[in-house]
Chain A
Amino acid sequence: TLKAVTAFGQDTFFNQRFKAFVEKVNTEGKGIMKIQVIGGPESMPPFEVGNALRAGVVDIANSTGVFHANMVPEALAMTLAEKSMAELRANGGYALLDEIHRQKANMVWLGRVSDGLQYHVYSNKPVSSSDLSGLKLRSVPVYRSFFQAVGATPLQVPPGEVYTALERGVVDGYGWPSIGVFDLGWQEKTKFRVEPGFYNVEVSLFMNQNTWKKLDAAQRAFLEKQVAWAESQNANDLKVAEEEKARQAKAGIQTINLPGEQAAIFRAKAYDAGWKGIEQAAPQNAPKLKALFSNGR
């Protein structure tokens, strides 16, 4: 039996694929392997999931590289990926980052269960160019330096306070994936979503390396097959994102489309800031990863 935790709440979007994965493994894998989900953030704090995996406290986890960038700063390349998982598996990008995970954090990057969703700037003030100066945006470390690069003031606000902060104007907006705004009720206090989005919201399955080594050939083959299935489901994400955007429009969130040239600058600044962060933290691996993960940047 493999002990599993998830870094996301049981009923959130980013936990759905993992749920389906576990169910499928447990029904099809009778006698081969069984995954027991121990819990979510109430059992293991998200930023500790990486360490729990590394130490063998748990065997498998539904998490994101963002949560263990303290140990593997290169993991943020997954968020900056402009190539699909299929491409990365073909061009060696997956193999490289998996190897880095094994070496640095004793964990195996099994596969990716969210691919192609983007982050967006949600704002209560109109935005017309890639210059966001004057905006106070609730931010998390992943896109913090990007927000600074476009002139915004990034603020750290606990999730539970964002609603009030939006309502009272303590912040003018926030960064968030294209999905999930409704989970927190923030749509009530949000006026605009800025297009284009940026980055590639990443959720992955990771496994403790010792556990992986203990699996026999049949078990590994079975697991890889199931992971491949989970990854194949990612294609649906884009449709879900479109539905969610339509739902946002219905809830009164207007779309701001940055004009073409500004959009290009906006995205370029996002990726520049992101890769610069990885380059500073992991100067040796960053260029290799950048070549494999990005699209000619």
Chain B
Amino acid sequence: MEWYSALLLMLGLMFAFMAIGIPVAFTFLGVNLVGAWLFLGGEAGLGQLVRNSVGSITSFSLTPIPLFVLMGEVLFHTGLAFRAIEAIERLINKLPGRLSVVAVLGGTTFATLSGSTIANTAMMGGVMLPQMLKRGYHPTMAMGPIMAVGGIAMLIPPSALAVMLGSLAGISIAELLIGGILPGLLMALCFLGYVIIRCHINPELAPADESATKAEGWERWKPFMRDVVPLFAIFVAVVGSMLAGWASPTESAAIGAVASVIATVFYRALTWQALYKSLMETAQVSVVILFVLVASTTFAQLLSFSGATSGLLSLINELQLSPLMLVLGMLAILLVLGCVIDQISMMMITLPFFMPLAHAAGIDPVWLGVMMLVAMELGLLTPPFGLLLMVMQSVAPPSIRLQQIYGAAMPFIIMEVAVLGLVIAVPWLAIGLPRMMN
């Protein structure tokens, strides 16, 4: 079979299965069966497929995925995350769009403690949205910041998705995690500025509320010092154990998970029930990712085995694109894909092609990896299919229409695209910190 027939067959089947609503993991498993039969050779090929599938998930590099998710879930289910947000809320006074500002700050804080975008958005949405709507915030100001800041969790470490990207793409996981910090913070700053400026110009977007505590001095700062600052010890445990040479990057995820549990013990917030719930939720969120990995790692292998990968790559190489054009092309593909499919599938579909191309063109893998994360984060917000849009829909009251959710996300999408452009123009934003670390 010629490489383009193989490529068309594999991708065609994949898109067809996905379009009729077959879950992503089973789509890939199904295409794999066909591909294994054709390219690996009949029944022996099917057996090889099974062996490769088991091997793909038996990997120490993937262990941070559930552990990073666990960190966030523990803080969420023990209520510590909510106490932290309340403490932040107490600090913010008299700012235009006060609760939206709290959402951005709280979401960013939680992003340093949680590796799961879904957990982040579900929590922020569940906590902040009802209050904001009750106080007459415009839906854009209420839902936008919550959705946008949720995506930052996958950029700022810990991040389960960054680990997955690093392991699939062969990019240093530690450098990728550190590289996401600056772009993530930059985004948070943009969101913050936007909220304050918009609400200052048009106060009706966020009516001033009377409920803001009038506490001053220590009374105002005490909850922050008590409920927020110590939590950064968890972040320090993860990054510090790595920098001090006590643990490898992979191992540090386990330290983070255990540190979160220990933190909740110190706050006397840990109950068996909360721990059980956190673990179950962790299994739920991370196995979705891991099970797709089983299927899609072997998909990439089959694509390569069939000759489709190298065929397409040599075709693109003939185009003689400059590295910049190549990067722009890759990001454009990701942004388009991001409108219709989820982050994990995006990685699975594109990485088998992107990484060899980037390697051949001498593109810095960490830079590319960070930009891919930003582009994928955008996919969380772009209609029609965006994970965070759906999470928001599930926590929002029925009176909120889907178009309103789309509209709320729009300004934040534009800001994220701007940040992406900035990272393209100034690669230092992505690779500066990792370089310093070395």
Contacts and interface: CB of A to CB of B under 8 A. Distances in A.
Contact of A52 (B48, B173, B307, B352): B48
A184 to B, nearest CB: 11
A259 interface: no
25 contacts: A38-B305, A39-B305, A42-B301, A42-B309, A43-B301, A43-B304, A43-B305, A45-B56, A47-B55, A48-B48, A51-B48, A52-B40, A55-B44, A55-B47, A55-B48, A57-B45, A157-B248, A161-B174, A161-B248, A161-B249, A163-B172, A164-B174, A168-B242, A169-B245, A170-B246
Given A160-B170, A168-B242, A45 B301 contact: yes
B60 interface: yes
B243 interface: yes
Contacts, number: 76
A45 B246 contact: no
Contacts of A57: 40-41, 44-45, 48
Nearest to B36: A57
Contacts of B48: 48, 51-52, 55, 57
A168 B52 contact: no
Nearest to A51: B51
Contacts of B309: 42
B173 A161 contact: yes
A48 B55 contact: yes
B310 interface: yes
Contacts of B301: 42-45
Chain B interface mostly helix, strand, loop or mixed? helix
B248 A164 contact: yes
A164 B249 contact: yes
Interface string A26-42: 00000000000011001
Interface of B: 40-41, 44-45, 47-48, 51-52, 55-56, 59-61, 166-167, 170, 172-174, 242-250, 300-301, 304-305, 307, 309-310, 352, 356, 438
B43 to A, nearest CB: 9
A287 interface: no
Contacts of A160: 61, 166-167, 170, 172-173
A157 to B, nearest CB: 6
Contacts of A224: none
B304 A167 contact: no
Interface residues of A, number: 25
Contacts of B304: 39, 42-43
Nearest to B60: A158
Interface in A111-165: 156-158, 160-161, 163-165
Contact of B305 (A44, A55, A168): A44
A56 interface: yes
Interface string A252-263: 000000000000
Contact of A45 (B52, B243, B356): B52
Given A42-B304, A168-B242, 9 more contacts: A39-B305, A43-B304, A48-B51, A57-B40, A157-B248, A160-B61, A161-B173, A161-B250, A168-B243
Nearest to A171: B248
B230 to A, nearest CB: 25
Contacts of A51: 48, 51
Contacts of B51: 48, 51
A157 B60 CA distance: 9
